[in-house]
Chain A
């Protein structure tokens, strides 16, 4: 081993429903090298120190979106955050804020998944085409309208960052709203009116956002939910005032 071995203290928020009344911190001393992520630190704990520590992970390379947690109070992917940044003072890892803890660092995702399903996160074709008519064509400019928003990996860091979601869980939240924009802004999609009228125009939709912008700061994939929401507020406001003079819009 090229690096001399260093020891870092990791405090892990524990919650075992069968024995803990409320979450408690437990401290572990972990030997690490400069190339080790926080996730690898947790894996060391599970393999060598305490097999009862629970956390989600899968890909180790910021693609699956499973290993989000609060690291020293900030929502981060543990696979994309390095232990060396917290040496020598140590670090604290906790379950993602604003979400119910199932066990230790594992949070419940039901609310997020239900909301994600509710926006129909798939292309609803504008026009039905037969196989003979060929594929749906799109110019690079049309693709640019939604491409960054399609990078979302559903890691829910933005939900842990959003003070509005923390105060009022009926708010749809940054990630799902950015994904709604991703499909609405796709030139092949025809489901825009349906998505906006069922949710987008409501207080629970785009209007619940108070423009804090922390969601965009914590996103590990460079998605800008605050921008998606602001664009939609503008469109929703125009629609709010023009619906009475637009045929077929007045009763909505």
Chain B
């Protein structure tokens, strides 16, 4: 039987899921609770200039891209198979919308990070 191309999407899904499980809650805590309330971190930790500087460093670019892109690929795959299980069988449309959305999001994030002005 024909070999499935699913490993490509499943690997992105798996990587995104692993990342979401490992750092998702920590990110919500830091960006949504700790920094705005000013404990543990200084209140200006996430100021525009700090975030811009973070995104200018090559390591920062990788972290931001990984979080944005992999989270999106994870969500795309999850929504795709969930719709399938619930009986939405417009397979091509669903795939194009889910994976296409994640692809476009990845490209926009990568382009923005690479062409970041000071």
Contacts and interface: CB of A to CB of B under 8 A. Distances in A.
Interface string B1-38: 11110111011001000000000000000000000000
Given A167-B84, A203-B6, A237 B1 contact: no
A199 interface: yes
B81 interface: yes
B interface secondary structure, majority: helix
Contacts, number: 45
A252 B85 contact: no
B10 A207 contact: yes
B4 A201 contact: yes
Given A198-B1, A202-B2, A211 B81 contact: yes
A217 interface: no
Contact of B11 (A163, A164, A210, A237): A237
Contacts of A210: 81, 84-85
A103 interface: no
A interface secondary structure, majority: helix
A204 interface: yes
A48 interface: no
Interface of B: 1-4, 6-8, 10-11, 14, 81, 84-85, 87, 89
